[in-house]
Amino acid sequence: MAKHYILFPNYSQGLKLEVLLKQNNIKYVISPTPRKLSTSCGISIMYNKKDEEVIKDIIDKNSVEIKGLFTIE
Amino acid sequence: MGDYKKMWQDLNMDIEKHDILCEALPEQFGDIYLTQENRPEAMNYFNYVVAEIHGARIMELEKYKKEGGKVVGTFCVFVPDEVILATKAIGVGLCSGSQFWIEDGEKILPRNICPLVKAFTGAKIGLTCPYFQSCDMIVGETTCDAKKKAWEIMDEYIPVHVMELPQMKREKNIKQWEDEIRIFINRMEELTGNKVTIESLKKGIDICNGKRKALKRMYDLRKNTPSPISGLDALLVSQVAFSDDPERFIEKTEELCDELEERVKELKPNGKKRIMVTGTPMALPNWKLHSIVEGLNAEIVVEETCTGTRYFENEVSTEGDTIDELVRNMAERYMDINCACFTPNEGRVEDIIKYVDEYNVDGVIYYNLSFCHTYAIEYEKIAKALKEEDIPLLKIETDYSEEDTGQIKTRVEAFLEMI
């Protein structure tokens, strides 16, 4: 099953988005960043595909810095 | 995230070798933890700590050190964190739960000693643990012969302070431990340049008691049938208790417990066998036994280990107007821990029987890290006492390797069928 991740340039941006997701009642899971997506360790956020557009919107409106949204099959 | 590399370089780490460790963690954690269904949302904080274990937390330590603060590493529930906090230092429990470090450990230690000791030694000499590299000092103790002798080797790499833990529980032994705590206070004062005062020690005791209360609250919630949290998740909480900032840990664990309290109201019995694990500690990232047991039709509801009840049961009293009185209170609390290093150690038998009842346990798994003699020998007494009470018991002796995973799974499966 495909899994969806958001990667960040540093952990504080990840935690910033976490707070916003919580406020908006969007389900997410904090996860170690899969090796396939990045060689540097640290957090990423796993999300459900159905929430993707809402999440993108939150990221834009609140100027959260991200490295991108990724999917692993 | 890329800037950790620079930090690790500055910490004189073996970047290439450390990278192999970093490669394994996301997959291992993903397979064991993130595949669990219906996890509490508050576990996200604990996921964060693991994901950033060699990143954000190390950055915090480095920042603290730049401001003149000190960091000390510890390995045992007997090291009084109260004193570390009272001298404004940061104490971190060091990782020693991975097969990854064994190879380096065996370069200078005999193979036939416990994996935990080989792992922490390997983590230091292989330069693959940023916590070790961040520490100004390591605090050892004499809870077992392997550790006792490993400190001498470790001292060649990093300053080590060893506390001599008495091995009996007579009044004179409690007094000896008081004396060791006083010596430790002096050493910490020298290291940090900060004097321990009545106020700072009381504050340290309050913080440590806060951690104990939070863990106790989580364990009390596990007494519910079914438990509102998996044994795997509860183990992770206990492991994180050793490494993260204590005040943040308390806040996040209380949040988790609030959520678990809500869950308890909705949960219906699930027919899973309720298992107690007793024995030797499971240092990060040792999740081996829990993942095997909970992969079957069972849930682990209590650990009578150093990464379990021994860490949080009983609080240190803050009654007293002198440092000596507080030191006495600490000595009494710590000497009440029923580690197998003591002789005799009847208290542990009583604890186990008591927990079987309190946690409504169906069966007990005696977990023994290979070559941990005191626990291996104590098995006989525990087995006899449990037999008298008609409580099923299974002994698993193992290390961190994956070689015996299939065999352990078969044995646990048979055990669950039997009970």
Please give the pLDDT value at position B2.
53
- What total number of domains does chain A contain? 1
User: Which of chain B's residues have a Cβ under 8 Å away from the Cβ of A1?
Assistant: none
AA letter at B77: V
User: Which of chain B's residues have a Cβ under 8 Å away from the Cβ of A27?
Assistant: 41
Cβ atoms of A7 and A38 closer than 8 Å: yes
Mutate to test the interface with B, among A1, A31, A67, A70 (most CBs of B within 10 A): A31
Chain B: give the shortest CA distance to residue A23, in Å: 13
Cβ atoms of B191 and B69 closer than 8 Å: no
**What CATH number corresponds to the domain at position A42?**
3.30.70.1530
**CA B299 and chain centroid, separation:** 20
User: Which of chain A's residues have a Cβ under 8 Å away from the Cβ of B30?
Assistant: 31-32, 34
Please give the pLDDT value at position B3.
72
Q: Residue B44 and residue A28: Cβ atoms within 8 Å?
A: yes
Report the C-alpha gap between B301 and B274 in whole angstroms. 6
Report the C-alpha gap between B335 and B110 in whole angstroms. 30
Tokens of B400: 């961190």
Which candidate from A35, A42, A46 shows the least CB-CB separation from B52? Answer: A42
Query: A48 touching B, CB under 8 A?
Result: no
Please give the pLDDT value at position B348.
98
Please give the pLDDT value at position B134.
97
Cα nearest neighbour of B33 on chain A: A31
Please give the pLDDT value at position B95.
82
> Could you list the mean pLDDT of each consecutive 10-residue stretch along chain B, which spans 419 residues?
83 95 92 96 97 94 97 97 98 93 97 96 96 97 96 97 98 98 98 98 98 98 98 98 97 98 96 98 97 98 98 98 98 98 98 98 98 98 98 98 98 97
Which candidate from A9, A31, A46 shows the least CB-CB separation from B1? Answer: A9
Domain holding A47, by residue range, is 3-72
* Predicted confidence (pLDDT) per residue in B8-36, tens digit: 999 999 999 999 999 999 999 999 999 99
Q: In the block, which residue shows the tokens 């197998």?
A: B340
Mutate to test the interface with A, among B27, B28, B32, B48 (most CBs of A within 10 A): B48
Report the C-alpha gap between B294 and B279 in whole angstroms. 18
Please give the pLDDT value at position B317.
98
Report the C-alpha gap between B233 and B230 in whole angstroms. 5
* Predicted confidence (pLDDT) per residue in A24-60, tens digit: 999 999 999 998 888 777 899 999 999 999 999 999 9
**Exposed/middle/buried for residue B185 (C-beta within 10 Å: 0-12, 13-18, 19+):** buried
Beta strand B137-141 with B160-163 is parallel
Q: Which A positions 4-43 lie with beta carbon below 8 A of chain B?
A: 8-11, 14-15, 18, 27-35, 38-43
Please give the pLDDT value at position A36.
87
Closest CA to B216 of B279, B284, B309: B309
